[in-house]
Structure 1
Amino acid sequence: MLKLIRHDAIVEINLARPPVNALDLSLLRDLRQALHEAPATGARGIVLSGAQGMFSAGVDVPALMGRERDEVRAFWREFFAVGAALARSPVPVVAAITGHSPAGGAVLALFCDYRVMAEGPFKIGLNEVQVGLSVPDCIQLALRRVVGAYRAERLMVSGSMIESAEALALGMVDELTGVEQVTTRALHWLTELLKLPEHAMLATRALARADLAEAYRDIDQLPLDDFVNGFFHPHTQAVLQGLVARLKKK
């Protein structure tokens, strides 16, 4: 489900769960472990990449439907734990957004230090509202940090999916390049960052990201049960069941 590729001092964690890199419990657990192990084994930076045309389609909704509450809660706790691993990473993480990045895929990208996205008709956004899910404040924070409070509100309340050019204009991503060059550009940016005096760079980074790190200091203090209650809300279940039915027809 993951490919780990070493680029000198940088580890590339490549999402490799065809066809769309949907996030299930196994992938999330593997990803969290990889994020923790990379710095522990000497990596000074991480690039998180996907497949050309699809970074990650977000949560594997069909895999969650029909599950018992404790199973659903375990999944979402792991999802937030991955967010914590990114938010509190001791080394810089760059998202190589190699294509579409809705919902959970966008969350992964937003928790990174820097975002390179494929230019063209690829879309990104926190579109949870469109599928009947609310966006908890601990995730809203990540978008507010990069685009500002008002713009984040407009994007999340409407569940907007925006193309790469608009994402760049709004500051949701930091640069665009051809889909074949996304990972290369991510590696280049991170390589240049790592040339800076390490102590000063990491100390400044820690201060700049302190709000995000603090929000994820204790996973069990996050409003996980409120979110799970929302997942099981009858209206949400109806919307999600409709989504699953449409996916099965494709």
Structure 2
Amino acid sequence: ILDFLTEFCINVEKLEMDKTCRGLIITSQPKVFSARLDIMEMYGKSPERCGEFWRAVQEMWLKLYSSDMVTIAAINGSSPAGGCLMSLTCDYRIMADNPRYSIGLNETQLGIVAPFWFKDTMVNTLGLLYSPSEALKVGLVDLLVPEDEVLTTATKTMTKWLAIPDHARQITKSMMRKPTIDKLTSKREADIQNFVSFITKDSIQKSLRMYLEMLKKRRG
């Protein structure tokens, strides 16, 4: 996932530099919009590797959360943890109305404490997973549509958003998001150190190992 995050950030930066590109729709293959942050990047790795991974997660969030483009998440599958965070960085979220899917920050279930910028992006919902209807009710997603209409609806919604003058939209977005962005920017190194020292603790590594073993049993 480290390579994916790096490539993702590079591509977002390229789109930002392309003045003909005003909007970005983020979607995936059906059933899983984006799984949680790769546990294998956190289990049994050196502190240096953990730090490199966390810096890439920070960069992904910063790039999307501060983007001048209109960003829409077309959520056509389950979206826990990292997938939820990516969705929350977007301006608008459209989710498939399928009770099998869920979305939310569930780090606490793995024994992991989400950092302040996760929390600030999704206030008061830490540790919970929501069904699509529940997510709509609490404002975690903006719209539910049938599964086969997620991308077409996202495209129609993008057209409406692009009708808004860029200048006014970008300034308004910056006013709302800048305090959280500045907070992480000024504390990036400390945030990385906190993550590395926490994730490499024996008790946390044990918790991750138990979770991985549980996943193996389920798949077996």
The Cα shift of 1:217 comes to 3.5
- Give the secondary structure class of the aligned counterpart of 1:162: coil
- Identify the residue that residue 148 of structure 2 maps to in structure 1: 180
Counterpart of 2:8 (choices 3, 28, 31) is 31
The Cα shift of 1:64 comes to 3.6
Matched, 1:141 2:120: yes
- Identify the residue that residue 132 of structure 2 maps to in structure 1: 164
- Give the secondary structure class of the aligned counterpart of 2:79: strand
CA–CA distance in 2 between the matches of 1:110 and 1:26?
22
Q: TM-score, normalised by structure 1?
A: 0.81
- Give the secondary structure class of the aligned counterpart of 1:67: coil
- Give the secondary structure class of the aligned counterpart of 1:209: helix
Q: In percent, how many aligned pairs have the same letter?
A: 30
Equivalent pair of 1:87/1:216 in contact (CA under 8 Å): no
Matched, 1:225 2:220: no
Equivalent pair of 2:35/2:83 in contact (CA under 8 Å): yes
CA–CA distance in 2 between the matches of 1:112 and 1:197?
18
CA–CA distance in 2 between the matches of 1:162 and 1:72?
29
CA–CA distance in 2 between the matches of 1:216 and 1:176?
31
- Give the secondary structure class of the aligned counterpart of 1:46: strand
| Structure with greater proportional strand content | 1
- Identify the residue that residue 90 of structure 1 maps to in structure 2: 68
Equivalent pair of 1:118/1:179 in contact (CA under 8 Å): yes
The Cα shift of 1:197 comes to 2.3
- Identify the residue that residue 206 of structure 1 maps to in structure 2: 174
Letter aligned with residue 76 of structure 2: T
Gaps of 5+ in 1: 1-23, 145-151
Cα shift readout 1:205-224 (whole Å, capped 9, x = no counterpart): 22233233323435635512
Letter aligned with residue 216 of structure 2: K
Cα shift readout 1:172-199 (whole Å, capped 9, x = no counterpart): 1101111222122122112111112232
- Identify the residue that residue 101 of structure 1 maps to in structure 2: 79
The Cα shift of 1:107 comes to 0.8
Counterpart of 1:126 (choices 105, 109, 121) is 105
Equivalent pair of 2:41/2:53 in contact (CA under 8 Å): no
CA–CA distance in 1 between the matches of 2:107 and 2:37?
10
- Identify the residue that residue 4 of structure 1 maps to in structure 2: none
Cα shift readout 1:133-186 (whole Å, capped 9, x = no counterpart): 101111101012xxxxxxx1xx31xx2211010000000110111122212212
- Identify the residue that residue 191 of structure 1 maps to in structure 2: 159
Cα shift readout 1:24-74 (whole Å, capped 9, x = no counterpart): 101101111111111212310111112211111121112442211101110
Letter aligned with residue 85 of structure 2: V
CA–CA distance in 2 between the matches of 1:190 and 1:219?
33
Gaps of 5+ in 2: none
| Structure with greater proportional helix content | 2
Letter aligned with residue 191 of structure 2: P
- Give the secondary structure class of the aligned counterpart of 1:176: strand
Counterpart of 1:71 (choices 33, 49, 56) is 49
- Identify the residue that residue 11 of structure 1 maps to in structure 2: none
The Cα shift of 1:202 comes to 2.3
Q: TM-score, normalised by structure 2?
A: 0.92
